[in-house]
Structure 1
Amino acid sequence: MTTTVTGAKAPTGPEPSAPASARRRRRRSSGGLARYIVIRAVLILPTIFILVSLVFFLMRSTGDPITAALGGRLTPDQLAVRIHAAGYDRPLLVQYFEYLGQIFTGNFGTTLSDNQPVTEILTHYGSATLELAFYSLIVAFIVGIPLGMVAAYFRDRGRDAALRVFAILCYATPVFFAGLLLKLIFSIWLDVLPVAGRASTGSELQMELLPHKTGIYLIDAFQTGSMAVVGDVLQHAVLPAVALGLLTAGVFLRLVRTNVIGTLSTDYVDAARSRGVGEFRLVRKHAYRPALIPIITVIGLQIALLLGGAVLTETTFEWKGLGFELAHYLQARDFVAVQGMVALLAVIVAVTNFVVDIIAALIDPRVRY
């Protein structure tokens, strides 16, 4: 006699093994990441195209570059000859497409005020601006992230309120005013840090003798083998980096505070708290890392803020980078030089945002979907 077991479900096939399921999840995850990277890479070119186009038409809305730069120094006939020779009397769209063609071939033109190739200016002074932005970002991390955690730990208390006011002051204070104040305190009153420049004359002379200069003074200082030169370069970088870095530190402080407080109210943190884990350990171990993900996602925007603030910072501290030169060419109304510099800054911002987006996707898989 056969016995029939009622309610039992007949097997329909072998259950997928755990390793096979894990492999499928990994393939889906890697496919999502690859698709995300491709989409972000494709969006770089339209972003740069729009920024470069806006700069071109905004500059030309005030007239041709020859008249803007040399209008008070040449006669009308001389101006007409120069304008025709440069091709600025042609239709605007013809000039625009020719300019785009030059940009894509790496030719940014020649400055009108001192007849220098814009590409040489970009390569010579661009490293100084990137070096200052790097120093400033380090200052922003050192100041903003720890203070944001402290504010979250003492939330809704006196220290939290003081740190929030500090963050607002950092963000709201004009960078040139912060620079002048730092120079007054540390260079004039205390006389402990240099007042301007990227390095002293003696250090610059030693770096000029190097066979393979990078233009990044800290790297070149290490190449000299002299710790005195390295120390001199770092001393000159302190005040500009702090003046510009505090601008971003205020953003990081408030962002870290908000996200740490939000993480502290999640279920898994409540479970850890119920097991007797102390509040400081909760902030340091459980809420710290999730709070860093938004920081990474906004770094790209902060790079744009740092590059914009570099114009005023470099002018205040005579830090000879793109910002310093941009202010010089703006005063000379040299639109060719200004267009080239702004186009390079647009490329830097777009590429930085792309890299930051990829890092954020690697850290947090939710970004990819």
Structure 2
Amino acid sequence: MTATDEKGASAPSAPRRTRQRSSGGLGRYILIRFLLIIPTVLILMTVVFFLMRITGDPITAALGGRLTPAELAARRAEAGYDRPLIVQYLDYLGGVVRGDFGTTYTDRTPVSEILTTYGAATFELVAYSVVVALVIGVPLGMLAARTRDRWPDAVLRIVAILGYATPVFFVGLLLKLVFSVGLGWLPVAGRISTSGEITMSRILNPTPFYLLDALRLGDMALLRDVLSHAVLPAVALGILTGGIFLRLVRTNMIGTLEMQYIESARSRGVAESRLTTRHALRPALIPIITVMGMQIAMMLGGAVLTETTFEWNGLGYMLAQYMKARDYVAVQGIVMMLAVIVAVSNFIVDVIAALIDPRVRY
């Protein structure tokens, strides 16, 4: 066999080796990112556990002043809070592994039930808000990039600054005053109306997700009821992240539009709108996808204020209620669930970014 034959025979195997290395790199990257969720959640759970114990045991914090010293001592002994702190911590970790997060002291509700019921509401709110943020940030960011240094660009940059600088509770109150109290277009608070709750009660094996149950029931009036209650909270929370997305898209679109392959396409007569939407948008979205995990964490922080403002019964709303009641067992479980949501969201975002941009996993 000649050298040419040898070279020709070995050539087809090169793409296969590249694909195998790429596939192996992606699989290893996904596995490592998934395994990092465990120490992340464990560290935060440990920090929250010991911080909660600085002010004393949860029973004294929640029920102090309502029980006699003897009753408090009996309750503390029954719950095991008279044992060494490290033993309490190991017992708590064992319960978490079994899915037992404890029982609240103020209303005697299992924390796992609170996480299941109200976690779905927070998930729905964050999902709606991400949609609002993308609808606001991506098109307006593209427009700002195309009109760089002209008056639309200046106006949109000011809008972006106002969007992420204005407190979310202030935006929520303003939206309620205008669209609920003033115009009467949208509900003031809650996730669903009373009549909607009655309709929901007809569903067999209901889920905690109101939107999913409304779709299962096929009732358009109920679906409008659910979505109308979600509009104002989603907009109030989505504006914050939408302003950040707007600036990210603008900055990256400007950089992409100045690249050589864009100039080459422009010289061939490709329309500016096509250059923006078909050639420059995807590279500009990669940083947004990378940052989205961090923004979801910020949204969960903003969800506490948003849910309290709109009485949206999610984890943020319940966290505020249990903190006021000083029910640290409930607070501990809710904070841990929020940490899990953030960690899983970051994992999903990292996987999407790795699929779009292979440089991420090498």
Counterpart of 1:286 in structure 2 is: 279
2:60 is the alignment partner of 1:67: yes
Equivalent positions of 1:3-82 (< 5 A) are: 13-82=6-75
How far the C-alpha of 1:16 sits from its partner, in A, is 4.4
How far the C-alpha of 1:102 sits from its partner, in A, is 1.0
| Coordinate RMSD, CA, aligned | 1.5
Inter-CA distance 54–278: structure 2 relative to 1 (3 Å threshold)? same
Letter of the 1:265 partner, please give it: E
Bigger mean CA offset, 175-184 vs 30-39: 30-39
TM-score (ref. length: structure 2): 0.96
Could you tell me which of 299, 317, 324 is aligned with 1:324? Answer: 317
2:250 is the alignment partner of 1:257: yes
Letter of the 2:291 partner, please give it: V
CA deviation profile, 1:84-135 (whole Å, cap 9, x unmatched): 2211122211111111111111110000111111011111111111111111
CA distance in 2, matches of 1:80, 1:10: 88
Could you tell me which of 87, 92, 95 is aligned with 2:80? Answer: 87
2:290 is the alignment partner of 1:297: yes
CA distance in 2, matches of 1:157, 1:17: 56
TM-score (ref. length: structure 1): 0.94
Structure 2 unpaired stretches of 5+: none
CA distance in 2, matches of 1:337, 1:10: 73
Give the count of matched residue pairs: 361
Counterpart of 2:223 in structure 1 is: 230
CA deviation profile, 1:292-329 (whole Å, cap 9, x unmatched): 11111122112111111111111111111111111110
Given that 1:206 and 1:224 are in contact with CA atoms closer than 8 Å, whether structure 2 keeps it comes out as no
Counterpart of 1:161 in structure 2 is: 154
Letter of the 2:80 partner, please give it: G
How far the C-alpha of 1:18 sits from its partner, in A, is 4.3
Bigger mean CA offset, 144-153 vs 97-106: 97-106
CA deviation profile, 1:27-74 (whole Å, cap 9, x unmatched): 111111111112112211111111111111111112111111111212
- Equivalent pairs: percent with the same residue? 66
CA distance in 2, matches of 1:321, 1:258: 35
User: SS at the partner of 1:15?
Assistant: helix
Inter-CA distance 16–152: structure 2 relative to 1 (3 Å threshold)? farther
Structure 1 unpaired stretches of 5+: 1-8
Letter of the 2:318 partner, please give it: E
Higher gyration radius (CA): 1
Letter of the 2:338 partner, please give it: L
Counterpart of 2:206 in structure 1 is: 213
User: SS at the partner of 2:52?
Assistant: helix
Counterpart of 2:361 in structure 1 is: 368
CA distance in 2, matches of 1:52, 1:22: 46
CA distance in 2, matches of 1:94, 1:64: 14
Counterpart of 2:259 in structure 1 is: 266
CA distance in 2, matches of 1:184, 1:343: 34
Letter of the 1:91 partner, please give it: P
CA distance in 1, matches of 2:127, 2:293: 13
